[in-house]
Each structure stands twice: as C-alpha cells, then as structure tokens.
Amino acid sequence: MATVSERLIAAGLSLPEPPTALGDYVPAVRAGGLVFTSGQLPLRDGALLSSGRVGESVSFETAVECARIAALNALAAASTLCELDEVTSVIKLTGYVASAPGFTAQPGVVDGASGVLIAAFGSSGRHAREAVGVAELPKGAPVEVSVILLLGDE
C-alpha cells in the first residue's frame, strides 16, 4: 500500500515545510484521535501565491491552485503532530474564498483542496465540507482552508 508521500508524488504534489503561525495560535492541535488545523493560506516559501478577490483580481484557475497549496500547508501543519499515514479519514474541510461581488463558484475553488486530500488519502480523503465566500482574508489571501483528520479507529 502506498504512503501518503508516495500518493502525493504520484499526483505531482509534495508537502512543503510546516507553516509557522502568523499570530498568537498554533498551526494544528491534536485532541485524542483528531487533528484540527488552523486556517492555512496559500503560502509558498513564506509568500502568498496570489492576493485579492476571486472573480476580480484573481482568476478562478489561480484560486484553485491557491486552494491546493493551502491544503498542502494544512497537511504539513498536521504532520507536526502525527504521521500522515496514521490518518484513517478526513472528517471535514472548510474553505474560505475571498470573493468579488457576484462570484458564486466557491465550491469549484475549494475542489482544489478536496482534490489534494483525495490524492493523499484515496477514498479515506473524501470528507464533509464547507465552501464559504467572504469579503477579505488574512494578508489579502484569496483562499484559506482548514481540515479535521481522524487517526486510527477512534
């Protein structure tokens, strides 16, 4: 059976270095058999991939890529508290999309993050989800995501 790392590589993806908190919080918390990540931005090497609102200064395609990067950052945050190969299920993904007025394709943007989780965990990566349009996100990011992961059979 392939590892999470092998499945990500097969999908052309890889985990970045774990993110650092941008404020007075931690990137992830473990509570028993659950790992909760804080909201993660599409940071690559400490810089936002893009900034602005989707449907205005950020294209749909760029927003989808931002969601992918944010999901990888969420997995990297979780990896500081557990081995990702211990994950038996992705419970929930929450995605926020900074949206221009009239932009309603938030679910399509957040599909980018969902795809990363399915690539990493196969059918165990399918999850409950929220895709929410918001006016602004921290640092002007177009997308922010967080995940809840289940470890073992707890």
Classify residue 74: in a domain, yes or no: yes
**C-alpha separations of 111 from 2, 83, 127, 149 in Å:** 23, 24, 11, 17
Q: Is residue 118 part of a domain?
A: yes
Number of domains in the chain: 1
In 3D space, the residue among 117, 111, 116 whose CA is nearest the CA of residue 130 turns out to be: 111
Q: Is residue 11 part of a domain?
A: no
Range of the domain at 82: 36-151
CATH number at residue 128: 3.30.1330.40
Please report, in tens digits, the pLDDT of each residue of the chain (154 residues total): 799 999 999 999 999 999 988 899 999 999 999 999 999 999 999 999 999 999 999 999 999 999 999 999 999 999 999 999 999 999 999 999 999 999 999 999 999 999 999 999 999 999 999 999 999 999 999 999 999 999 986 5
Is 75 in a helix, a strand, or coil?
helix
Is 0.85 surpassed by the pTM of this model? yes
Identify whether 141 is part of a domain: yes
